[in-house]
């Protein structure tokens, strides 16, 4: 494993009277795409927020680039780690370019307009996300896939070497999901960025990630290179479902196939408990 960029050491965190993880230790290597996967409510989003200092640990510490997270300034942290949450919001009438410009906050000098560096970063981000043509469009007029690209452009404009993404393919159809992930892949490959991405879909994770961390109830159940982690045994342990792992015909990547019969009447209940778990995340 390459040199770790971020580590959580004996982290304890929870909401009110519920502990999400207790004594978690985790390292994120530099320059790779790490996918955090696991069932709903396993704490993967919470880990991401903890590593970005959005939610403080109640014990233990996060070390970023050899310095404890608490010693980073708000802007210094933003220049190093950008993050896109699950449900980002901005005013509907805001134009894409103005949204992307908000990504420059941590770089700007007080009382000055956007300078050349800011404009270059904004234009580069718009080009990388193919949003140049839509730069003057209000957010309200964008489709789901376009809106997601606009937010990714804001994150890119932040020009941070590390990017956290919390389920960026939620609510996207499969083709938009894949183009979003290929953009993420590009950021890591060509941009040399370290990416940590929370994903539901194991096959998507296998497509985009170098490494996968599988969580189960606030613990790391398995971590390592994609092929080592995505084994039928690991997945059965973590998700409690029978499954087979095949090798994709187009590449050498694993393909996870759940082996379920047709889903019966209990489907409604499963959905309900899944929603509850989502709310907890």
- Binding site residues, another protein, CB under 8 A: 49, 52, 54, 74-75, 77-79, 81-85, 87-91, 93-94, 102-103, 105-106, 108, 110-111, 154-155, 158, 164
Between residues 111 and 190, which has the closer beta carbon with respect to another protein? Answer: 111
CB of 150 to another protein, least distance (A): 12
CB of 132 to another protein, least distance (A): 21
Question: Interior CA angle at 244 toward 239 and 247, to 5°?
Answer: 125
CA atoms within 13 A on the CB side of 23: 0
CB of 85 to another protein, least distance (A): 4
- The CA distances from residue 108 to 79, 95, 115, in Å, are 11, 20, 8
CB of 201 to another protein, least distance (A): 22
Burial of 31 from C-beta contacts in 10 A (0-12 / 13-18 / 19+): middle
Do residues 238 and 220 make contact, with C-beta atoms less than 8 angstroms apart? no
CB of 151 to another protein, least distance (A): 8
Between residues 81 and 212, which has the closer beta carbon with respect to another protein? Answer: 81
The rounded Cα 45 to chain-centroid distance in angstroms is: 8
CB of 49 to another protein, least distance (A): 8
Between residues 111 and 175, which has the closer beta carbon with respect to another protein? Answer: 111
Name the nearest CA neighbour of 147 among 157, 134, 156: 134
Do residues 28 and 2 make contact, with C-beta atoms less than 8 angstroms apart? no
Specify the DSSP class assigned to residue 129: T
Cα separation, 138 vs 103, whole angstroms: 17
Between residues 49 and 97, which has the closer beta carbon with respect to another protein? Answer: 49
Between residues 22 and 55, which has the closer beta carbon with respect to another protein? Answer: 55
Between residues 29 and 88, which has the closer beta carbon with respect to another protein? Answer: 88
């Amino acid at each position: 494993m390459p040199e770790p960029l971020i580590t959580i050491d004996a982290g304890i965190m929870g909401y009110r009277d519920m502990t999400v993880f207790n004594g978690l230790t985790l390292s994120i290597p530099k320059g790779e795409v790490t996918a955090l996967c696991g069932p709903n409510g396993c704490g993967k989003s919470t880990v991401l927020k903890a590593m970005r200092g959005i939610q403080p640990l109640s014990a233990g510490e996060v070390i970023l680039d050899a310095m404890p997270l608490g010693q980073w300034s708000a802007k210094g942290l933003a220049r190093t780690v950008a993050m896109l949450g699950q449900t980002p919001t901005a005013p509907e009438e805001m134009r894409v370019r103005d949204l992307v410009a908000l990504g420059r906050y941590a770089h700007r000098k007080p009382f000055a307009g956007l300078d050349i560096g800011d404009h270059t970063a904004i234009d580069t981000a718009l080009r990388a996300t193919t949003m140049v043509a839509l730069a003057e469009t209000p957010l309200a007029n964008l489709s789901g896939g376009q809106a997601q690209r606009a937010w990714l452009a804001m994150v890119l404009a932040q020009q941070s070497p590390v990017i956290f993404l919390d389920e960026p393919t939620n609510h996207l159809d499969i083709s938009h999901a894949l183009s979003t992930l290929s953009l993420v892949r590009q950021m890591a490959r060509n941009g040399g960025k370290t990416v940590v991405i929370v994903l539901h879909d194991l096959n998507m994770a296998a497509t985009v990630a170098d490494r996968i961390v599988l969580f189960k109830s606030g613990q790391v159940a398995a971590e390592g290179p994609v092929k080592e982690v995505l084994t039928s045994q690991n997945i059965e342990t973590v998700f409690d479902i029978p499954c087979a792992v095949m090798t994709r015909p187009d590449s050498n990547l694993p393909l996870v196939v759940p082996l379920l019969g047709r889903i019966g009447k209990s489907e409604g209940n499963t959905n309900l408990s899944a929603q509850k778990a989502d709310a907890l995340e």
